[in-house]
Amino acid sequence: MPKIVRFHRTGGPEVLQLDEVPPTNPGAGEVRLKVDAIGLNRAECMFRQGQYLETPQLPSRLGYEAAGVIEAVGPEVTGFKVGERVSTIPCFPIGQYGVYGEWAIVPAYALARYPDNLTPTQGAAIWMQYLTAYGALILYGRIQRGQTLLITAATSSVGLAAIQIANREGAIPLAATRKAAKKGFLLEAGAAHVIVTEEEDLVDRVKALTNGVGVQMVFDPVAGPLLVPLAEASAMHGMIFEYGALSPEPTPFPLFPALAKGLTVRGYTLFEFVREPAMLEKAKAYICEGLKAGSLTPVIDRTFPLSQIVEAHRYMESNQQKGKIVVTV
């Protein structure tokens, strides 16, 4: 019997279990995938814990990103056929259409063909990271050649995607990480400079690297007390994108730096634009062009088999990874 991953109560990684559930038929506008690989995301850990934008209805599936082959097509689906190799874009309710497992039902609007030069493992590591970075840096931030971008949690898959997109646009990516052990990796990944926050003062280091000007843009998933030094490290009229809430502490608003510099502090998720077909198509074209040219390359940290989904989530929560964690099926 095919297996899917569900949780019957919220909590830590141990609540995830493999349930034997026969495949269902896709409904109108849906397809069924035979899943080959699953890309893990922080959002899924938060959803599993009951601390996400969406509340799970138990027992709940989970998962935004998968690469696989279409094995059934529902009514009213056009543009896709059985046998095609596709991956999923995170633009659907995670509980209703979770992709963890050997099969998944997903809406056809969430499917994308990925370049032939990528493996299924890489295909499962595209859309969340590159769309998140694209929306902030390109669509809303309109980053320019020569501008400086400060990226926190830079060894995450989204952080690495931001480094690659910044380099593609001729901007200057400054990567911030807590541990010195990750410095060499980030430099090899394309960071112009790396700030090790356990050893260096973030604001002083940014000011030194920018001749006292500060950074034009900040891309941050941490929030909490970190927002204050991020504002202090920003240039006049700088823009701070807050795309996550990894810090468990409250997030104070940096009023005086914001007033003094005319800062924009903006909450952001990719869900702002991925449900807009025209915007999504433009983003997909940008990302696919970069993937084909090699300027965008998914960084895979480690793979786990589906039978080790609990261990994979534990590894994600350990913060050891440098890039994407992928589960193979």
Residues 6+ apart with CB under 8 A from 76: 28, 29
pLDDT one-digit tens code per residue, 77-97: 999 999 999 999 999 999 999
Question: Alpha-carbon Rg of the chain, whole angstroms?
Answer: 20
**Across the chain, what does the average pLDDT equal?**
96
CA 234 – CA 227 distance, rounded (Å): 11
Q: Is the pLDDT of residue 144 over 90?
A: yes
pLDDT tens profile 35-71: 999 999 999 999 999 988 899 999 999 999 999 999 9
Q: Is the pLDDT of residue 230 over 90?
A: yes
Tell me the mean pLDDT in the region 159-185: 96
Average pLDDT over residues 126-132: 97
Question: Quick one: 3-126+298-328 is in which CATH superfamily?
Answer: Medium-chain alcohol dehydrogenases, catalytic domain (3.90.180.10)
Helices (H), the chain: 42-48, 120-123, 127-134, 157-168, 183-188, 202-209, 227-232, 255-261, 277-293, 309-317
What is the average per-residue pLDDT within 209-216?
98
Q: Break the chain into its structural domains and give their ranges.
A: 3-126+298-328, 128-271
d(CA 164, CA 151): 11
- The CATH class that applies to domain 128-271 reads alpha beta
Place of tokens 């493992």: 121
